[in-house]
Structure 1
Amino acid sequence: MSAFLIRSAFTGFALWIATLIVPGLSFVGGTTGWEQFGIVVVVSLIFGVVNAFIKPIVQILSIPLYILTLGLIHIAINAFMLEITAWITRNTTHWGLEVDSFFWSAIFGAIVISIVGWMLDLLLKEPV
């Protein structure tokens, strides 16, 4: 459970960085700083659950595309996970993540989130 929460904190930070960099990717709702922070936390938890349950199924079904595109389909799958998270938050609440378009907001957002997550993993790994 603690690993999921730590990973969700990293994801929340990566999502926040992505919304600062990527035009068309933003958090909606919250008037104060604490409300916006809460929205980032909830969205990162939802994104973590989506990645834990839906992403493995999509990856297994797209194995031929992984081979055909030499793994580049992974970017589109990550963008699809962003779209699903935005859809969930948009339809269950009226605040959360907003993605303007799959091309290029979600694609570029998925790339930024992957790079920031990778850099956080590098920073926090214990030296052997």
Structure 2
Amino acid sequence: MIKFLLKVVILGAVFYGLTYFEVLPGLDVDPNPDGPLGEYGTYLWIGLIFGVVNAIVGPVLRLLSLPFVLLTLGLFLLVINAALLGLTAAISDRLAVDGFGTAVIGGLILAIAGWAADQVLDR
């Protein structure tokens, strides 16, 4: 449970970094300064939603799309990560993803950050 919460904090920090430094112009977060944790609470909330979507829906999508993943030698996983980011944006009213390209690049960055978090937290 602690590892999942730390991963949520890391994902929230990645969302903050992506939007604050405008790495992806099409990825926008509308922070809520009146929330319980202020603006940072919005990023933690989005990180939590993405973590839950990735933990529950992600394995199902990966299993159902296994033939496409094998056929494309793993490149279809980028489309799955984009779909997970799009689903997170659909669930949250504070996150907006402008297009498919933005979702693919954002999903790739979040997948790399999630993998790095898993590597650090497993030690």
TM-score, structure 2 length as denominator?
0.84
In the TM superposition, what are the counterparts of 1:41-80 in structure 2 within 5 Å? 41-80=44-83
**Who is 1:29 aligned against?**
31
Amino acid at match of 2:113: V
Residues 85, 103 of structure 2: 8 Å contact kept:
yes
Question: Which segments of 5 or more consecutive residues in structure 1 lack a partner in the other structure?
Answer: 91-95
Shift of 1:10: 1.5
Per-residue CA deviations over 1:9-68 (Å, capped at 9, x if unaligned) read 111122222333111001113247x52201000111111110111111111100000111
In the TM superposition, what are the counterparts of 1:115-126 in structure 2 within 5 Å? 115-121=112-118, 126=123
Amino acid at match of 1:89: S
**Who is 1:93 aligned against?**
none
Shift of 1:115: 3.0
Q: Structure 2 vs 1, CA of residues 81 and 8 (structure 1 numbering), >3 Å: closer, same or farther?
A: same
CA distance in 2: counterparts of 1:125 and 1:50, whole angstroms: 21
Root mean square deviation of aligned Cα = 2.1
Shift of 1:101: 1.1
Q: How many matched pairs?
A: 120
1:85 to 80, 85, 88: 88
Question: Which segments of 5 or more consecutive residues in structure 2 lack a partner in the other structure?
Answer: none
Q: As a proportion of its length, which structure holds more helix?
A: 1
Per-residue CA deviations over 1:95-115 (Å, capped at 9, x if unaligned) read x2110112x110111122223
TM-score, structure 1 length as denominator?
0.81
Shift of 1:122: 5.3
